């Protein structure tokens, strides 16, 4: 991180409670309610909004007791977590210039699939107008923005947290806590709880509602990580917990009530699914069970009915240049929304739309290609068979017989299949 960038005081949008929660005195306070015995074997069941906390707790006990069935999976997790130990923390204030607001604390990103259509000249230095090339990432979109650093935060914290949980090695927990504290809590380096300036298009706008997808894929995994850290992770303090709760509450309010948030929730493709998943997960994490239940039940059923065809295909995702990628990307959000719903008595897996649409049918549609039995015949710039792994696991967990039979035929993601110790679908490409 650059040490010469200006530091600005945190905005008062969250009121005095967040500032009080993040003073040096509170940061040095003891951690949350979870405590382990001298062998580190007993911790409170984590109140994870997506993963079943009781299942996670049972897996941890088995791992610490040396269960050979989990040994290789935990070892694969540790390899991935070790790669993050020497990286970070990152901060939203570490960019060359702020968003259009002038505040370095505002997250900034650019539309990844938009490219300059004209030569860059002194008169037109950005090559405007920009045009969309679906599925083709413009490397310039990652220059001078927060997207890469935010991705590092959101990818690293769940892995580091799980590594602490399964091994009791404090360096994983303390580093996960440091990363979260720096990006979200510390007044000098924290991100403001909005995505007003995400995925802007040069020469056209400063941000768009679909920029919410920048956080959608991984943020609920971080909510689970925070709940796991709450069980007694070293370095995770009462101040951290209070600061993150305040941030999550404010971010949820922005998602539900801002113009961008409302637009994203109304989206009829994967953006709408990820918006519902984020809202339901955040609502459960901050204690608004009614909002979580309404979102999972009402929005979840509506999204299944409108996005999944009777044959299980997802027509809006099949129309993309990366139809395999987006079919699984959307299904991962559906699976995670179903996992949130299961915590509060909503069963999305059993829901059937008026024409027989269901999540099980959507999984069945991709199973032949996922198991290598047939080719994927729809447009795809980069077919990666392992992208199906987690959603097949999730469907099998929900009692789907064909998915259970398919598990031995799946291709493991790079770095290994972590689902057995992180039992919630997560898109891996």
- In this predicted model, what pLDDT tens digit does every residue of 98-110 receive, in sequence order? 999 999 999 999 9
Q: How far is CA 393 from the centre of its chain?
A: 18
Using alpha carbons, select from 3, 221, 198 the residue that is nearest to residue 101: 198
Q: What local confidence, expressed as pLDDT, does residue 27 receive?
A: 32
C-alpha distances (whole Å) from 342 to each of 33, 35, 185, 335 are: 25, 27, 30, 10
Beta-carbon-side half-sphere exposure of residue 253 (alpha carbons within 13 Å): 10
Q: What local confidence, expressed as pLDDT, does residue 41 receive?
A: 59
Using alpha carbons, select from 170, 276, 180 the residue that is nearest to residue 225: 180
Gap between the Cα atoms of 400 and 405, Å rounded: 9
Q: What local confidence, expressed as pLDDT, does residue 40 receive?
A: 54
Asked if residues 263 and 198 have their Cβ atoms less than 8 Å apart, the reply is no
Q: Enumerate the H helices of 258-350 as residue ranges.
A: 259-265, 270-286, 289-294, 300-307, 315-318, 323-343
Max CA distance (Å), the chain: 68
In degrees, to the nearest 5, what angle opens at C-alpha 396 toward C-alphas 299 and 387? Answer: 75
Q: What local confidence, expressed as pLDDT, does residue 187 receive?
A: 98
Gap between the Cα atoms of 261 and 243, Å rounded: 22
Gap between the Cα atoms of 135 and 129, Å rounded: 19
Using alpha carbons, select from 52, 75, 74, 50 the residue that is nearest to residue 62: 74
pLDDT < 70 regions, the chain: 1-41
Q: What local confidence, expressed as pLDDT, does residue 428 receive?
A: 75
């Amino acid at each position: 991180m650059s040490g010469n960038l200006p530091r600005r005081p945190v905005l008062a949008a969250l009121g005095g409670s967040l500032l009080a929660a993040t003073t040096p005195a509170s940061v040095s306070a003891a951690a949350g309610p979870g405590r382990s015995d001298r062998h580190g074997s007993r911790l409170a069941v984590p109140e994870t909004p997506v993963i079943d906390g009781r299942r996670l707790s049972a897996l941890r006990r088995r791992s610490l007791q040396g269960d050979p069935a989990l040994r290789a999976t935990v070892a694969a997790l540790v390899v991935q977590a070790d790669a993050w130990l020497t990286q970070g923390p990152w901060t939203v204030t570490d960019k060359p210039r702020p968003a259009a607001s002038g505040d370095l604390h505002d997250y900034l990103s650019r539309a990844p699939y938009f490219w300059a259509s004209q030569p860059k000249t002194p008169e037109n230095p950005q090559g405007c107008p920009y045009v969309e090339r679906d599925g083709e990432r413009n490397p310039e979109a990652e220059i001078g923005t927060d997207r890469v650093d935010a991705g590092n935060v959101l990818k690293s914290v769940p892995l580091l947290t799980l590594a602490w949980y399964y091994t009791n090695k404090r360096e994983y927990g303390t580093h996960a806590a440091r990363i979260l504290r720096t990006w979200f809590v510390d007044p000098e380096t924290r991100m403001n709880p909005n995505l007003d300036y995400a995925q802007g298009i040069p020469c056209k706008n400063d941000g768009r509602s679909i920029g919410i997808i920048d956080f959608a894929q991984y943020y609920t995994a971080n909510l689970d990580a925070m709940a796991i850290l709450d069980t007694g992770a070293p370095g995770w303090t009462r101040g951290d917990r209070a600061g993150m709760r305040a941030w999550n509450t404010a971010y949820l309010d922005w998602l539900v009530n801002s113009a961008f948030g409302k637009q994203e929730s109304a989206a009829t493709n994967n953006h709408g699914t990820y918006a519902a998943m984020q809202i339901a997960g955040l609502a459960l994490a901050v204690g608004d069970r009614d909002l979580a239940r309404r979102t999972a039940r009402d929005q979840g059923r509506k999204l299944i009915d409108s996005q999944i065809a009777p044959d299980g295909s997802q027509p809006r995702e099949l129309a993309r240049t990366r139809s395999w990628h987006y079919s699984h990307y959307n299904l991962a959000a559906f699976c995670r929304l179903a996992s949130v719903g299961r915590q509060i008595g909503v069963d999305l897996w059993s829901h059937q739309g008026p024409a027989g649409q269901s999540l099980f049918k959507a999984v069945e549609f991709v199973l032949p290609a996922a198991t290598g039995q047939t080719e994927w015949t729809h447009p795809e710039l980069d077919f990666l068979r392992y992208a199906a792994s987690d959603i097949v696991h999730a469907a099998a967990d929900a009692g789907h017989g064909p998915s259970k039979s398919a598990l031995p035929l799946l291709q493991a993601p790079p770095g290994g299949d972590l689902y057995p110790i992180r039992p919630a679908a997560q898109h891996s490409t």
